[in-house]
Amino acid sequence: MIIAIDGPAGSGKTTVARLLAEKLKIFYLDTGATYRALTYAALERKVDADDPQALGDLARSLKFTVEGSRVYLDQEDISQQIRHPRIDKAISKIVSYSQVRQVIVELQRKLTQGRDAVVEGRDITTVVFPDSKYKFYLDADPQVRAERRAKELQEKGVNINFDEVKQDLEKRDYSDKNRSVGALKKSQESILIDTTGLTIEQSVEKVADYIIPRG
């Protein structure tokens, strides 16, 4: 069983998906982390962001491991490094290439093969697991999403400017929704969950009610 969750940054999907997986006691995969890990590797190894072939080759050469919310690249824990604003600024171009997305999508399917899982990202219901039993699309007001992202960075000790965070989010939204492959969009079958006025706990319960009906 795959529970697929899509949505833009700041919609709460990552935390909701992780807590839902804990509640159901099944595997959790943040697919965005796999793209972030690739972006981190590309920046560290100075791979040209305008060279899709080189990026695709890099993606094939990397050894990813995911354990809960921890992400390992060649056995190095990079869970904190991949959440830095420099990754946010570079990721859109790197993940836009079909050569890259093909490799990473294959990895995501491999990581969840033979297991029940909650999988979240931007093209999970439309590309990665279009036949998943449960499909959700989480969204929230853009201002609220920017505030959540800024708070998340502040809590990690990252010195940020709110206007810059909001602009980066707007650019990411545009790029995600307009890329030629793996674009962010709500699939016809997905259940829309607006998290604007909801706490994380309320959002988790709202999704869980569709999977484990009360009463």
Per residue of the chain (215 residues), what is the pLDDT tens digit? 999 999 998 899 999 999 999 999 999 999 989 999 999 999 999 999 999 999 999 999 988 888 877 899 988 999 999 988 899 889 988 988 998 999 999 999 999 999 999 999 999 999 999 999 999 999 999 999 999 988 888 887 887 888 888 998 898 899 889 888 888 999 999 999 999 999 999 999 999 999 987 65
CATH architecture of 2-198: 3-Layer(aba) Sandwich (3.40)
The pTM (predicted TM-score) of the whole model is 0.86
In the chain the beta strands, taken as DSSP E runs, fall at 2-6, 27-30, 64-67, 70-73, 76-77, 117-121, 134-139, 191-194
The CA distances from residue 77 to 7, 37, 40, 63, 64, in Å, are 26, 10, 12, 12, 10
- The secondary element (H helix, E strand) that includes residue 60 is helix 52-61
